[in-house]
Structure 1
Amino acid sequence: MAKQTSAPAVPGSFLPDLGSPRSLVGAWAQLSVVQYFAAEAAVIEAWAAPQPYDRRTGFISDLGAVNCAVYDGRDVCSPLHLLMNASFVVQGLGLLLGALLLGSAMLCIAARPGVRILQDTAYLKGRSGAIGARILTGAAGAGTVIVGLVPEDYGSPWHFAGALMYFIGGAFALLLLGFLWLPHTRMSWFLLACGTVCFAALIAGAVTRMELPEPGTLERLMAYPLTIGFSAAGLLIATRVRRVRRIAASAAAWDRRERM
Structure 2
Amino acid sequence: MASVTPTRYRWGALAWLLTLQFFVVEAVVALQADGYSYADDVISALGAAASPAHALMNASFLAQGVLIGAGAVLLRPALRGTGGRLAPAFLTAAAVGVVLVGLFPQDGREALHEAGAGLYLLGGGLALIALAYAVRPRSEALGTTLALLGLVGVAMTVFFVAEITGYLGEGGTERAAAYVLPVGLALAGVGLRRLAGRPESAGRLTRREQRARERAAEQDRRTERARERDAALEASTGTAGQPAPPAADGPDEDFDPDDPWARTRRRE
The equivalent residue for 1:26 is 12
Shift of 1:211: 7.6
| 2:38 aligns with one of 52, 55, 65 | 55
Unaligned stretches of 5+ residues in structure 1 = 1-14, 69-77, 109-125, 245-260
> Aligned to 1:165, what secondary structure does the other structure show?
helix
| 2:64 aligns with one of 68, 76, 91 | 91
The equivalent residue for 2:78 is 106
Larger relative CO (CA 8 A, sep 6+): 1 or 2?
Answer: 1
> Aligned to 2:159, what secondary structure does the other structure show?
helix
The equivalent residue for 2:83 is 129
Residue identity in the other structure for 1:17: S
Render the CA deviation track for 1:151-189: whole Å, top value 9, x for unaligned: 101033111011111111111110011123334320111
The equivalent residue for 2:111 is 157
Detail structure 1 runs of 4+ shifted over 4 Å in the superposition: 209-213
Identify if the C-alpha distance between structure 1 residues 41 and 16 changes in structure 2 by more than 3 Å, giving closer, same or farther.
Answer: same
Q: Superposed, which structure 2 residues align to 1:213-228 within 5 Å?
A: 214-228=169-183
Verify: 1:206 aligned to 2:206, yes or no: no
Render the CA deviation track for 1:206-240: whole Å, top value 9, x for unaligned: 22276887101100110111111111111112233
- Using the size of structure 1 for normalisation, the TM-score is 0.70
> Aligned to 1:167, what secondary structure does the other structure show?
helix
The equivalent residue for 2:28 is 42
Identify if the C-alpha distance between structure 1 residues 46 and 90 changes in structure 2 by more than 3 Å, giving closer, same or farther.
Answer: same
Q: Distance in 2 between matches of 1:16 and 1:214?
A: 45
Identify if the C-alpha distance between structure 1 residues 213 and 130 changes in structure 2 by more than 3 Å, giving closer, same or farther.
Answer: closer
Tell me how many residue pairs correspond in the alignment.
197
| 2:152 aligns with one of 179, 197, 219 | 197
> Aligned to 1:154, what secondary structure does the other structure show?
coil
Unaligned stretches of 5+ residues in structure 2 = 199-268
The equivalent residue for 1:184 is 138
Shift of 1:26: 1.9
Q: Distance in 2 between matches of 1:153 and 1:97?
A: 29
Q: Distance in 2 between matches of 1:107 and 1:213?
A: 34
C-alpha contact (below 8 Å) 1:139/1:166 kept by paired residues: yes
C-alpha contact (below 8 Å) 1:30/1:231 kept by paired residues: yes
Verify: 1:236 aligned to 2:191, yes or no: yes
Render the CA deviation track for 1:229-254: whole Å, top value 9, x for unaligned: 1111111122334x47xxxxxxxxxx
C-alpha contact (below 8 Å) 2:100/2:113 kept by paired residues: yes
The equivalent residue for 1:80 is 53
The equivalent residue for 2:3 is 17
Residue identity in the other structure for 1:189: T
The equivalent residue for 2:96 is 142
Residue identity in the other structure for 2:144: W
The equivalent residue for 1:5 is none
Q: Distance in 2 between matches of 1:45 and 1:206?
A: 27
Q: Distance in 1 between matches of 2:103 and 2:166?
A: 26
What is the aligned-residue RMSD (CA, Å)?
1.9
Residue identity in the other structure for 1:134: P
Render the CA deviation track for 1:31-66: whole Å, top value 9, x for unaligned: 210111100110011114xxx111000100001102
C-alpha contact (below 8 Å) 1:43/1:80 kept by paired residues: yes
- Using the size of structure 2 for normalisation, the TM-score is 0.68
The structure that has the greater radius of gyration is: 2
C-alpha contact (below 8 Å) 2:163/2:170 kept by paired residues: no
C-alpha contact (below 8 Å) 1:29/1:95 kept by paired residues: yes
The equivalent residue for 1:116 is none
